[in-house]
């Protein structure tokens, strides 16, 4: 019998989560760890097994995100597939420039000596989260099942599945991605815009070792990031003008590789494609509210940021850590999981931080996309200044590590 048709283990759940991708899986595992086997969680996804989807992607995950993955017991499995980033080189040139001087270069270790960032392939990350969720008796996975709407009253929330089943819970969390059907059902509006840019992702093999260094080439059409993977491989995360991206993506392998080579530079020797190409239209969106009675938004359902700093999933994991902390504290003193005060605390904690991040990455994208000479000079002076100022470099490494600000306990490596 498919998992989605299995009888429900509990007639009523404490928390139901729509979306069993990165954010939803991590939330279910962290809640279960914090509140034990009696705390019942329903995890719903329209896809039977998200871990079985094809992936070209790898994520730049911050030290804070790694602390969370470690706390829920999956980092041990993922670590052998993850590449620590030892240093970062930033360049800012036109596409035609023969030489790309490095304008800013820094070591990527935190003050505690741990890597500020790891590059983690999507496949092992999803598989580890899914295996952990499958092993926890408090989690009931309903997949494939489409959560299409919900109604709330004082006693709880009733979630409607497209196959006609209803489930009841104290709290429903929408971790159902950037188009979030439940956000729409809740009537929560989003603000944002499309970038007229496309994110292209590809894996390549190269001759020479990368020594763990990541490279960010700011090109006029958008940043071209070379993220080191284990072995002599790298994941390219490339922002391109939408029309140019359509042309490039339609090329055959030889033509496509030539476009990658033009941007990659020759430092790592000859390169070859090592996986499929994938692409995403890029946009910024922020939900006007993150909560409603017995309802919370999480991850891309709440916010979508420009991928140039590789922070979308890191922000989602911050949401996870904050929501687990406020819900666990409230449940332990006798409130139910959908208590309004806890949800308000969650929104206050997370909405401002996500809005600042979205605005910062948007600003960087605009600043580096401008090719006018005065702006190029200002950028060069700014990057040069950071390069010569150790305190500023330390601040930026702290930001990349996700360790600045008012952090929930899981991101500090502490149990909830
Ligand atoms: C090109 C690119 C590069 C990126 N690189 C990075 C990076 O390096 N580092 C980083 O931190 N972030 C990065 N991001 C951002 C990252 O991909 C997202 O932030 C992350 O995928 C969000 O995860 P999520 O679990 O919130 O949503 P999703 O992964 O979108 O999952 C949503 C889930 O909800 C399910 N669903 C949808 N509707 C329903 C429904 N009605 N019922 C049940 N289930 C439903 C879907 O099947 C899916 O499994 C990048 C993004 C792009 C586009």
Sequence-ordered list of residues with C-beta below 8 angstroms from that of 50, at least 6 positions apart, any chain: 20, 21, 25, 126, 130
Q: Please give the number of the atom of ligand 1 that sits closest to the Cα of 199.
A: 1
Number of Cβ within a 10 Å radius of residue 169: 26
Output the CA 307–ligand 1 centroid distance in Å.
12
50 lines ligand 1 (CB under 6 A): yes
What is the predicted pLDDT for the residue at 4?
A: 46
What tokens does 289 get? 């509210």
Q: Please give the number of the atom of ligand 1 that sits closest to the Cα of 181.
A: 41
Q: Evaluate whether 397 touches 108 at the Cβ level (below 8 Å).
A: yes
Q: Is the predicted pLDDT of residue 2 greater than 50, yes or no?
A: no
What is the predicted pLDDT for the residue at 371?
A: 65
Output the CA 22–ligand 1 centroid distance in Å.
7
What tokens does 45 get? 């996804």
Output the CA 21–ligand 1 centroid distance in Å.
7
Alpha-carbon distance values, 369 to 64, 237, 240, 335, 383 (Å)? 29, 16, 10, 50, 15
Question: In the chain, pLDDT over 90 holds for what percent of residues?
Answer: 76
Residue nearest to atom 51 of ligand 1 (CA): 307
Please name which of 122, 93, 111 lies closest in space to residue 216, comparing C-alpha atoms: 93
Q: What is the mean pLDDT of residues 328-350?
A: 97
159 lines ligand 1 (CB under 6 A): no
CA dist., res. 270 & res. 121, Å (int): 22
What is the predicted pLDDT for the residue at 389?
A: 78
What tokens does 254 get? 């030889």
347 lines ligand 1 (CB under 6 A): no
What tokens does 302 get? 């709440």
Q: Please give the number of the atom of ligand 1 that sits closest to the Cα of 239.
A: 1
Q: What is the mean pLDDT of residues 50-65?
A: 87
Q: Is the predicted pLDDT of residue 173 greater than 70, yes or no?
A: yes
- Measure the N-to-C terminal CA separation of the chain; round to a whole number of Å: 36
Please name which of 144, 302, 274 lies closest in space to residue 202, comparing C-alpha atoms: 274
Q: Angle at Cα 81 formed by Cα 75 and Cα 86, nearest 5°?
A: 90
Residue the block writes with tokens 């080439």:
217
Q: Please give the number of the atom of ligand 1 that sits closest to the Cα of 299.
A: 26
Q: Is the predicted pLDDT of residue 309 greater than 50, yes or no?
A: yes
Per-residue pLDDT of 343-389, as tens digits, reads 999 999 999 999 998 888 888 877 777 666 666 777 777 777 777 77
Q: What is the mean pLDDT of residues 1-8?
A: 47
What is the predicted pLDDT for the residue at 98?
A: 67
What tokens does 240 get? 């391109």
Residue nearest to atom 11 of ligand 1 (CA): 313
Q: What is the mean pLDDT of residues 329-353?
A: 96
Q: What is the mean pLDDT of residues 238-259?
A: 97
What is the predicted pLDDT for the residue at 3?
A: 44
Residue nearest to atom 44 of ligand 1 (CA): 45
Q: Evaluate whether 338 touches 380 at the Cβ level (below 8 Å).
A: no
Q: Angle at Cα 136 formed by Cα 135 and Cα 139, nearest 5°?
A: 120
Q: Evaluate whether 18 touches 172 at the Cβ level (below 8 Å).
A: yes
Q: Please give the number of the atom of ligand 1 that sits closest to the Cα of 60.
A: 8
Question: How high does pLDDT run on average in the chain?
Answer: 92
Please name which of 409, 406, 387 lies closest in space to residue 396, comparing C-alpha atoms: 387
What is the predicted pLDDT for the residue at 370?
A: 67
Q: Is the predicted pLDDT of residue 1 greater than 60, yes or no?
A: no
What tokens does 309 get? 């700093």
Q: Which residue has the higher pLDDT, 377 or 181?
A: 181
310 lines ligand 1 (CB under 6 A): yes
Per-residue pLDDT of 143-170, as tens digits, reads 999 999 999 999 999 999 999 999 999 9
Instruction: Please report which confidence band the pLDDT of residue 400 belongs to, taking 50, 70 and 90 as the band edges.
Output: confident
SS (H, E, C) the chain: CCHHHCCCCCCEEEEEEECCCHHHHHHHHHHHHHHCCCCCEEEECCCCCHHHCCCCCEEEEEHHHHHHHHHCCCHHHHHHHCEECCEEEEEECCCCCCCCCCCEEEECECCCCCECEEEEEHHHHHHHHHHHHHHCCCEEEECCCCEEEEEECCCCEEEEECCCCEEEEEEEEECCCCCCHHHHHCCCCEEEEEEEEEEEEEEEEECCCCCCEEEEEEECCEEEEEEEECCCEEEEEEEEEHHHHHHHHCCCHHHHHHHHHHHHCCCCCCEEECCCCEEEEEEEEEECCCEECCEEECHHHCEECCHHHCCHHHHHHHHHHHHHHHHHHHHHCCCCCCCHHHHHHHHHHHHHHHHHHHHHHHHHHHHHHCCCHHHHHHHHHHHHHHHHCHHHHHHHHHHHHCCCCCCCHHHHCCCC
């Amino acid at each position: 019998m498919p998992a989605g048709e299995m009888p429900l283990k509990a007639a009523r759940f404490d928390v139901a989560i729509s979306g069993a991708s990165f954010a939803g899986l991590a939330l279910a595992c962290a809640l279960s760890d914090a509140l034990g086997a009696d705390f019942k969680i329903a995890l719903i996804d329209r896809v039977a097994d998200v871990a079985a989807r094809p992936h070209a992607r790898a994520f730049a995950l911050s030290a804070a995100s790694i602390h969370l993955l470690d706390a829920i017991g999956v980092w041990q499995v993922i670590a052998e597939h993850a590449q620590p980033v030892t240093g970062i080189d930033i360049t800012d040139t036109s596409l035609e420039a023969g030489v790309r001087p490095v304008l800013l270069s820094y070591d990527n270790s935190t003050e505690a000596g741990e890597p500020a960032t790891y590059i983690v392939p999507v496949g092992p990350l999803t598989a580890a989260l899914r295996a952990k969720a499958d092993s926890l008796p408090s989690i009931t996975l309903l997949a494939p099942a489409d959560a299409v709407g919900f109604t709330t009253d004082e006693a709880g929330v009733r979630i409607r599945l497209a196959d006609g089943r209803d489930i009841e819970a104290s709290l429903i969390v929408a971790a159902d991605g950037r188009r979030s059907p439940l956000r729409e059902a809740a009537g929560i509006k989003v603000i944002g815009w499309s970038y007229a840019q496309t994110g292209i992702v590809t894996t390549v093999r190269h001759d020479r070792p990368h020594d763990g260094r990541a490279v960010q080439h700011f090109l006029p059409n958008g940043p071209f990031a070379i993220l080191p993977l284990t072995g002599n491989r790298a994941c390219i995360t490339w922002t391109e003008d939408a029309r140019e991206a359509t042309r490039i993506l339609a090329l055959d392998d030889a033509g496509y590789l030539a476009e990658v080579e033009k941007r990659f530079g020759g430092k790592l020797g000859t390169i070859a494609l090592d996986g499929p190409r994938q692409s995403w239209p890029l946009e910024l969106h922020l939900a006007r509210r993150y909560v409603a009675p017995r309802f919370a938004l999480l991850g891309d359902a709440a916010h979508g940021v420009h991928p140039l700093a590789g922070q979308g999933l890191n922000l989602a994991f911050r949401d996870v850590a904050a929501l687990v902390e406020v819900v666990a504290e409230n449940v332990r003193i006798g409130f139910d999981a959908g208590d309004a005060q806890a949800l308000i605390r969650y929104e206050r904690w997370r909405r401002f931080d996500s809005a600042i991040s979205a605005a910062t990455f948007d600003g960087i994208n605009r600043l580096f996309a401008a090719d006018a000479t005065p702006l190029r000079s200002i950028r060069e002076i700014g990057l040069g200044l950071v390069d010569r100022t150790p305190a500023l470099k330390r601040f930026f490494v702290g930001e990349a590590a996700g360790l600045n600000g008012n952090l929930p306990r899981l991101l500090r490596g502490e149990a909830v």
